[in-house]
Amino acid sequence: MYPITITGHRVDLRDFRPDDIPQALAVFGDDEVTRWLSFDSRDHDQATAMINGAIERAQAEHRTEYYLAVTDKTDRMIGFARLGLSGVKAAKLGYAIRADRWGHGYATDAARTLTTYGFHTLGLHRITAAIGPDNTASITVAKRLGMTYEGRLRDHVHTNGAWRDSLLYSVLTHEWTDHAATL
């Protein structure tokens, strides 16, 4: 299915477009954002390659990645949310919002919207999020989604020149049916 748009309460999610690149730099090119992610900040050319790669993968015959732009209600990209399918009916969830738009509930809404899509539309059984131990804002988002803490992944990612542990959170489809209605 391509291109897709998923409507949330505060944000919408949609496939990337080439004209997102200037806004994408405020996310992928900002150290304040990428220090929490598993990659280093990208310059303009690298951000362009990332967006183009996501657009290309989104059109694969058997789509295994839902790497979507998070947009405000004027269709301006303010972040991304990603479901990467792996294993049997399982996916990894990731998200980021540009720093000057933090604290408005956008990540919570984007993650909630994409998780609902994963369970209800894609038929997933399990969705996980691996979060840096110091990333209080993201842990807040995971807990608010009703995710359960499973354990600590040692030296899980190499970022900013060092190994970093992750805290693994998960939610299962039968748990979500009850929880999504309360958000």
Ligand X SMILES: CC(C)(COP(=O)(O)OP(=O)(O)OC[C@H]1O[C@@H](n2cnc3c(N)ncnc32)[C@H](O)[C@@H]1OP(=O)(O)O)[C@@H](O)C(=O)NCCC(=O)NCCS
Q: How far is the CB of 106 from ligand X (least distance, A)?
A: 4
Angle between helices 106-116 and 136-144 (to 10 degrees): 40
What does R_g of the chain's alpha carbons equal in angstroms? 15
Q: How far is the CB of 172 from ligand X (least distance, A)?
A: 19
Q: How many CB atoms lie within 10 A of CB 174?
A: 10
Between 50 and 123, CB nearer to ligand X: 50
CB burial class (10 A; 0-12, 13-18, 19+) of residue 112? buried
Instruction: Tell me: does residue 113 bind ligand X (CB under 6 A).
Output: no
Instruction: Tell me: does residue 37 bind ligand X (CB under 6 A).
Output: yes
Instruction: Tell me: does residue 143 bind ligand X (CB under 6 A).
Output: no
Q: How many CB atoms lie within 10 A of CB 22?
A: 10
Q: Considering only residues 91 through 110, tell me which ones interact with ligand X, judged by CB under 6 A.
A: 94-97, 102-108
Q: How far is the CB of 145 from ligand X (least distance, A)?
A: 10
Q: What share of the chain is helix, strand, coil (3-state, %, to 5)?
A: 35, 35, 30
Instruction: Tell me: does residue 138 bind ligand X (CB under 6 A).
Output: yes
Residues within the interface to ligand X (CB under 6 A): 33, 36-37, 94-97, 102-108, 129, 131, 135-138, 140-141
